[in-house]
Amino acid sequence: MLTRQEAIYGRPPLKTAADGGFASRDNLRLAKTRGVKDVMFAKKRGLGVLDMVRSLWVYQKLRNFRAGIEANISRLKRAFGLDRCTWQGWPGFRQYVWSAVVSYNVLVLGMLLPAH
């Protein structure tokens, strides 16, 4: 993902929040040498918090950001049928995911609008 980010934006991200399956000293070292300032893994796997990020506050912010993303993915799967795509082929898959994400976003926007 770091290579892809650099190819698209011309630089690495300043901060990352990754799944615990990626937690390793090698991945931490790779991210840091490529210019990522703060790297948060969901599971520490023997890594110190201050080895990954500049402060505990940054670690908590990145952890909460990742938890919010996971919650949105879970809701898409449970409430919008994104757990299994039944439409055929790549175009069908894209349409299926697009329709679920747009429906979810419309619902969230509707909940954020003040009631009149």
- Model pLDDT, residue 81: 86
Give the alpha-carbon dihedral of 34, 36, 38, 42, to 10 degrees: -70
Q: pLDDT digits over 52-85, tens only?
A: 999 999 999 999 999 999 999 999 999 988 888 8
Q: pLDDT digits over 7-53, tens only?
A: 999 999 999 999 999 999 999 999 999 999 999 999 989 999 999 99
87: left (phi over 0), alpha (psi -120 to 50) or beta: beta
